[in-house]
Amino acid sequence: MLIFIQHNIWLVILAAVSGFMLVFPSLRGKMGGMPEVDPVGAVQLINHENALVLDVRETSEFASGHIANARHIPLGQLSDNAKTLEKYKDQTIVVNCRSGSRSAAACNTLSKLGFTKVYNLKGGIMAWQQAQMPTVK
């Protein structure tokens, strides 16, 4: 085994890096402490806790289809418009984007601003649509 590793060190390194890249996205949310919710969990939060859905995609993405009653603030404008969300500071908020990356950043921003119940929609609107949940235009 040791001889194989010595002769194939680059393959071993490549395999290790590839494995890390596969695992990193799921670890990032857990390490950052940012709660994630899947589409079914999001529906439960919307129905049982009257969660606000915050869509942080760009305007054209939002216009192509979004979760019903979602509030739209593009990620790049979130810090400037955080004051408009003040009344939701202690309310449950489900944040979504296309795949879950921008919404994770938005969740971190909101948490730093004192929002207490912020959830990232795991997989974003793509996961929502794959779960055959409705969208509106």
- Determine which one of 78, 97, 107, 125 is catalytic: 97
- The answer to whether the beta carbons of residues 30 and 104 sit under 8 Å apart is no
Half-sphere exposure of 10 (CA within 13 A, CB side): 0
97 counts as catalytic? yes
125 close to 96: Cβ distance less than 8 angstroms: yes
| Residue 120, beta-bridge partner list | 36, 95
Concatenate the DSSP letters of all residues of 103-124 into one string.
HHHHHHHHHHTT--EEEEETTH
Q: How far apart are CA 49 and CA 51, in angstroms?
A: 5
Q: Using CA atoms, how far apart are residues 70 and 93, in angstroms rounded to an integer?
A: 10
Give the catalytic positions in this structure: 97
